[in-house]
């Protein structure tokens, strides 16, 4: 665990706070964008809706909660980020933002996001947002990430909650469809991250992070990617098979799932460059899959 005393004795190269871009980077904007997007889908699929102004406020709250958790993650991980090539230029390990300011920024965003969600939507959605942030910070960042190869498997639950939060924000309750959406993202997460971990295995080993390629080796990771990709592709068909979404979604999910399985098979067979192709395809896959969900209803109505 990072030593809090280091925040009180800042190195000479630290300056009093970074610029706006540094603080924006602390909030992990790419992760935040995915969180907000899947939250929008959950909200759009709900049978009841919020007033547009309140819906925008709820989505802002979701973004703030995700950004705050990301900033706290960067504060806590500053020691391992400093020794990894992929992360050493982040605002805190590079010295552009003092650690104490990053922590304060993250806590402020998180608390404001939860409060705004409760006021704009309902306190059930606010409680889910708080639970997601606490799980990401304390269970994943502080515990799982540094202790087990299953870190990204269990920790993926935090990133899978946004569509559920969006649904609950609109309706105040749960239903089978948002639970399935949670399951899709939960199953998608390991294969997505392990593809990158195969490329960055030396980085993780140097930082002492027990990612699957470090602890179980390359073959087990490639098999895990294939297994989780197959499970993800199967889970994406459930909204269609259970009648929650129509043929437009079902057809698209099947085609996208076939693409995911093909990329996973190429990783399993060790095709050159397949790991990063899998990583980038998995991002596009999740985006297109969730985009199909509200489009299904619109196209069916047309």
Alpha-carbon gap, residue 175 to 188, rounded angstroms: 21
Do 264 and 226 form a contact (C-beta atoms < 8 A)? yes
Asked if residues 296 and 253 have their Cβ atoms less than 8 Å apart, the reply is no
| Backbone φ and ψ of 90, nearest 5° | -60, 160
Residues 6+ apart with CB under 8 A from 118: 125, 126
Q: What is the pLDDT of residue 17?
A: 54
Are 17-148+157-171 and 175-294 the same fold in CATH?
no
Q: What is the pLDDT of residue 19?
A: 87
Distance CA 133, CA 185 (A): 16
Are 236 and 256 in contact by the 8 Å Cβ rule? The answer is yes
Determine the Cα–Cα distance for residues 291 and 302; give it in Å rounded to an integer.
17
pLDDT along the chain (302 residues), means of 10: 44 56 95 97 95 97 98 97 94 96 98 98 98 97 96 96 98 97 98 97 95 96 98 98 95 98 98 97 98 88 58
The pLDDT value recorded for residue 7 is 47
pLDDT for the residue numbered 298: 81
What residues contact 209, with CB distance under 8 A and at least 6 apart?
80, 145, 146, 151
Full-model pTM: 0.92
Instruction: State the fold for domain 17-148+157-171.
Output: Tetracycline Repressor; domain 2 (1.10.357)
Of 11, 37, 79, 17, the C-alpha closest to 284 is 37
Q: What span, in angstroms and rounded, lies between the C-alpha atoms of 163 and 5?
A: 38
Fold of 175-294: 1.20.120
Question: What is d(CA 145, CA 169) in angstroms, rounded to the nearest whole number?
Answer: 30
Sequence ranges of the domains in the chain: 17-148+157-171, 175-294
- Neighbouring residues of 60: CB distance < 8 A, sequence distance ≥ 6: 113, 116
């Amino acid at each position: 665990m990072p030593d809090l005393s280091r925040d009180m004795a800042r190195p000479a190269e630290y300056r009093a706070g970074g610029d706006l871009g540094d603080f924006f980077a602390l909030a992990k904007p790419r992760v935040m964008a995915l969180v907000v997007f899947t939250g929008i889908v959950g909200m759009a699929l709900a049978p009841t809706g919020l007033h547009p102004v309140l819906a925008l406020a709820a989505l802002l709250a979701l973004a703030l909660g995700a950004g705050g958790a990301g900033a706290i993650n960067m504060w806590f991980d500053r020691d391992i980020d400093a020794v990894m090539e992929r992360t050493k230029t982040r605002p805190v390990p590079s010295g552009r933002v003092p650690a104490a300011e990053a922590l304060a920024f993250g806590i402020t965003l998180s608390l404001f996001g939860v409060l705004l969600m409760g006021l704009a939507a309902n306190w059930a959605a606010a409680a889910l947002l708080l639970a997601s942030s606490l799980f990401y910070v304390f269970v994943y960042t502080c515990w799982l990430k540094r202790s087990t190869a299953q870190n990204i498997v269990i920790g993926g639950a935090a990133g899978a909650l946004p569509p559920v939060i969006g649904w609950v924000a609109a309706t105040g309750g749960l239903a089978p469809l948002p639970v399935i959406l949670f399951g899709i993202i939960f199953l998608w997460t390991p294969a997505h991250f392990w593809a990158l971990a195969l490329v960055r295995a030396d980085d993780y080993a140097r930082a002492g992070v027990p990612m699957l390629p470090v602890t179980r080796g390359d073959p087990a990771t490639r098999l895990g990617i294939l297994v989780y990709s197959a499970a993800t592709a199967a889970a994406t068909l459930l909204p269609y098979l259970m009648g929650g979404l129509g043929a437009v979604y079902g057809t698209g999910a099947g085609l996208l799932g076939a693409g995911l399985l093909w990329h996973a098979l190429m990783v399993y067979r060790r095709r050159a460059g397949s790991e990063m192709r899998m990583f980038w395809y998995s991002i596009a896959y999740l985006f297109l899959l969730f985009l199909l969900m509200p489009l299904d209803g619109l196209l069916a109505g047309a």
